Amino acid sequence: EEKQICENMFKTLTEKGADNRGIRHPSSITEISAIAKADSKKITHIIERFRSAGRSFLTSSDVELSDDSIIDISHESLMRIWDKLKVWVDEESLAVQMYLRLSEAAALYQQGKTGLWRPPDLHLALNWRKEKQPTLTWAKRYAPAFERTMVYLKTSEKEYLADEANKIMLQKKALRRSRIFA
């Protein structure tokens, strides 16, 4: 559980810049807690491990941490030399790209300029939702219409499943007709 929290915390504290390099994104413990879906005490416990003596991975202007304390990565060079963090930054970048594509499609759908998503994009988006389990706090960092986006994805999924069920039903009817005729 702490490994997952740690991964979510560092994904929150970093993002990929326009030049494909990691950049710092200072965040409050409250924000990290909401994104990581963890108690702020657990977040604070993990932060203390990374900012203790001899481990200056994280910085905070507060000596004593509170929920409003802003946490930051101590230096951007850490993002260039820590291989695991590079992987996390890349994963987060892909998740953000998927969310932005989905959010844009939802906005266009609301305006009547596009339809619902179909495979393979729909399958990619459903896998993204299952793996990332996005939260409102995470989504607001990139595009504010989280609810609209998630409703669009659910509607696309329901429509696809209904179409698939209808195809199966039509195939069964055709098979029955063929058997009766034969």
pLDDT recorded at residue 74: 87
The Cβ-side half-sphere exposure at 75, using a 13 Å CA radius, reads 7
Q: What is the mean pLDDT of the chain?
A: 92
What whole-number distance in Å separates Cα of residue 138 and Cα of residue 128?
14
pLDDT recorded at residue 61: 62
What whole-number distance in Å separates Cα of residue 108 and Cα of residue 116?
10
SS3 sequence of 155-182: HHHHHHHHHHHHHHHHHHHHHHHHHHHC
Owner of token pair 């504290």 = 13
What whole-number distance in Å separates Cα of residue 154 and Cα of residue 129?
10
Tens-digit pLDDT profile for residues 40-95:
999 999 999 898 877 888 887 667 889 999 999 988 888 888 899 989 999 999 99
1 is written with which tokens? 């559980």
The pTM is what?
Answer: 0.86
CB 14 within 8 A of CB 73: yes
Tens-digit pLDDT profile for residues 102-133:
999 999 999 999 999 999 999 999 999 999 99
